[in-house]
Every structure is written in C-alpha cells, then in structure tokens.
Amino acid sequence: MNANAPLPLEVSVDDVSYLLGRPGESPRMIDCREQDEWQVCRIEGAELVPLSQFGELAPQRFFDLNQHIVIYCHHGMRSQRAANWLRQNGFGKVQSMRGGIDAWSEMVDQNVPRY
C-alpha cells in the first residue's frame, strides 16, 4: 500500500480495531455525537467534538493536517459530514468509521452499550 495514497473516506470498525490495537501510533478518535449520547457510551480514549458545534470547536481542537483522525457517531452519517468538513479544510488523513458506535458495539466490543 502506498503510504502517500489518500485514505478512503470510510473505514470499517474491524480496521479501526486493528489500528487501535497495533503497536505504534494510533489514530486520534473523535466522537461527533452529542453530549447526551456520549454519556450513554463511548469508545475508550475518544474525544467528544459534537457535530452541532464542529465548525466552532474544530479550529481550537485540530491543528496537525497530517494526523490520522477517525471520527465516529451513532451510525456513520454525522461522522461523514464531520470528516468531509475536515478534509475540505486541509486535513487529508481523516476517516469516518462506517456503521458508527452501533457497529462497534455489535462487531468489536459488546461491552459498549447499544441504544
């Protein structure tokens, strides 16, 4: 795989699990759900940047244009919007986790509650 090739917009929960478990630098995990959803469940180590405040908070929270960032939401729709927003603002290594935390709960970590 070419290290300089652009990353696909979407990444599977299995691939994210692999990236988080392998040695070396892990992607930065961003949860773009709202605070009340965050209180129900989250992926360990993720940071909350709600989509409803993304345009306001992103300039304060994202600096490294080359950092690998994986964004997730409940099912993967909001995270695609957030990932596209970052890509349009120069962040080339941003991906949306396909299926969101619901798919993560079902396929990777059944201890994460589903709602």
Which residues are identified as catalytic?
Answer: 73
Running DSSP on this structure, what letter comes out for residue 47? E
What angle, rounded to 10 degrees, do the helices at 77-88 and 54-61 form?
50
Q: Which of 110, 113, 64 shows the shortest CA–CA distance to 91?
A: 64
